[in-house]
């Protein structure tokens, strides 16, 4: 009977990792599809070259604001009502938004729909990582979260491939994938750790708990700051690589969509390496530090490549992707820092606040750009973000192998 029970538990855990992985696949597909189709879609609805850049930044910022707000909402829902409800609700919302996105004809509608999509996207990763972290053993949960990230990140390559058949079709396919995923999720089960506190009197999903303790607040902020360089690389250096290409003297147009495609292949590979390195060294902090330093090196190669060609850009995008492939490790660190009663809130809001940090990062970059130009500004922002991330990492405790079956006391 024990062997049968263990086998069933193992099958359930594997199925949960698969569902969380496919959910993140669709999440990444929808999250990045705009960056991939930004130029053709905005051109198609009548914008000129300057408007494509300006309005593109505006729409991305609106989408990221949706992620910020959605992260708070879904995180609290996950701790109060359960992780499974977040998985269902979030995927339904951004699937509907995807279908709507394929029908837009003006910038304002485009921005509103991307905001709604951002709200939905905010719940996917945090709920999935929380479920996997709380279900797998403390020795193996790193492998589980690594697989979620690796499979999920290939959603970017899928978006790149589908976008070749038209930007509207890319959105329609994203919506269809989400609906199919909803059917698969019928068989998923709730976290045992959540069930243990579900009917208790302990405060659940209370985000104010992060602000009533200086130690908890510091940990929370540090968790956000260690992930900021990754999103800067993807959201600025690669997403606006057409502008960086001009600044580097490229004789051929550099396409951001190509960069996203190759960088996310690199990120997927980097996540495998980071996950394995953390398991071998039994240290997530050491792994993060290694990758943060390597990412600084890769960005230097990119920003110093005068006369960059599309071929070299593809190679550099892949290299940069590999060096910022610490997404799963970073989110796992955040999940392991806090108790069960606010773990979903933290694990859902932290990655979305990192994504949302693209708003102030873009504003700061634009301020530097107005004075120093694209290349110097690229160096300045990457330097600042890396130093801040390394300092924040040094202030966090090692969590590899930590027992997660505990609660935070208000």
Q: Where are the domains of the chain?
A: 2-189+203-395
Which two structure tokens, joined as six digits, stand for 313? 């850009």
Name the 3-class secondary structure at 1: coil
What's the pLDDT tens digit per position in 205-237? 788 888 888 999 999 999 999 999 998 999 899
Which two structure tokens, joined as six digits, stand for 70? 């959605």
C-alpha triplet 330, 337, 235: angle, nearest 5°: 25
What's the pLDDT tens digit per position in 62-82? 888 888 898 888 888 888 887
Q: Is 101 exposed, middle or buried (0-12, 13-18, 19+ CB in 10 A)?
A: buried
The separation between the first and the last C-alpha atoms of the chain, rounded to the nearest angstrom, is: 41
Which two structure tokens, joined as six digits, stand for 275? 């996950």
Buried b vs exposed e over 33-50: b needs ≥16 C-beta within 10 Å?
bbbbbbbebbeebebeee
CB-facing half-sphere around the CA of 317: CA atoms within 13 A: 30
- Region 173-193: mean pLDDT is 75
- Region 268-279: mean pLDDT is 90
CATH code of domain 2-189+203-395:
1.20.1250.20
Q: Look-up: residue for tokens 């230097």?
A: 300
pTM attached to this predicted model: 0.81
Which two structure tokens, joined as six digits, stand for 228? 């900021």
What's the pLDDT tens digit per position in 363-408? 999 999 999 999 999 999 999 999 999 999 999 999 888 888 778 7
C-alpha triplet 338, 344, 346: angle, nearest 5°: 55
């Amino acid at each position: 009977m024990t062997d049968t029970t263990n086998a069933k538990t193992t099958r359930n855990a594997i199925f949960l990792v698969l569902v969380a992985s496919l959910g993140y696949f669709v999440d990444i597909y929808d999250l990045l599809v705009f960056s991939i189709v930004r130029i053709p879609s905005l051109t198609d609805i009548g914008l000129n070259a300057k408007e494509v850049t300006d309005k593109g930044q505006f729409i991305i910022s609106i989408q990221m604001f949706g992620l910020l707000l959605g992260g708070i909402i879904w995180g609290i829902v996950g701790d109060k009502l359960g992780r499974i409800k977040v998985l269902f609700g979030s995927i339904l919302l951004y699937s509907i938004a995807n279908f709507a996105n394929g029908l837009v004809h003006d910038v304002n509608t485009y921005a509103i729909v991307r905001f709604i999509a951002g709200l939905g996207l905010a719940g996917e990763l945090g709920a999935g990582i929380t479920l996997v972290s709380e279900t797998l053993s403390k020795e193996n949960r790193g492998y589980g979260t690594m697989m979620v990230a690796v499979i999920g990140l290939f959603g970017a390559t899928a978006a790149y491939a589908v976008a070749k058949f038209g930007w509207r079709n890319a959105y329609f396919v994203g919506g269809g994938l989400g609906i199919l995923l909803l059917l698969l999720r019928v068989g998923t089960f709730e976290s045992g750790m959540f069930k243990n506190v579900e009917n208790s009197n302990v405060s659940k999903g209370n985000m104010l708990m992060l602000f009533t303790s200086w130690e908890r607040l510091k940990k929370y902020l540090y968790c956000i700051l260690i992930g900021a360089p990754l999103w800067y690389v993807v959201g600025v250096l690669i997403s606006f690589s057409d502008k960086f290409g001009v600044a580097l003297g490229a004789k051929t147009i550099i396409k951001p969509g190509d960069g996203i495609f190759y960088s996310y292949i690199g990120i997927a590979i980097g996540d495998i390496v980071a996950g394995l390195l953390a398991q071998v060294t039994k240290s997530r902090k050491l792994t993060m530090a290694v990758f943060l330093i390597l990412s600084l090196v890769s960005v230097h190669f990119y920003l110093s490549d005068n006369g960059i060609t599309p071929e070299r850009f593809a190679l550099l995008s892949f290299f940069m992707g590999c060096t910022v492939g610490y997404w799963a490790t970073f989110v796992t660190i955040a999940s392991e820092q806090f108790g069960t009663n606010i773990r979903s809130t933290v694990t859902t809001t932290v990655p979305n606040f990192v994504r949302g940090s693209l708003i102030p990062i873009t504003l700061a970059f634009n301020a530097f750009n107005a004075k120093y130009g694209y290349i110097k500004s690229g160096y300045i922002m990457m330097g600042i973000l890396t130093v801040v991330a390394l300092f924040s990492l040094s202030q966090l405790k090692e969590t590899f192998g930590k027992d997660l079956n505990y609660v935070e006391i208000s």
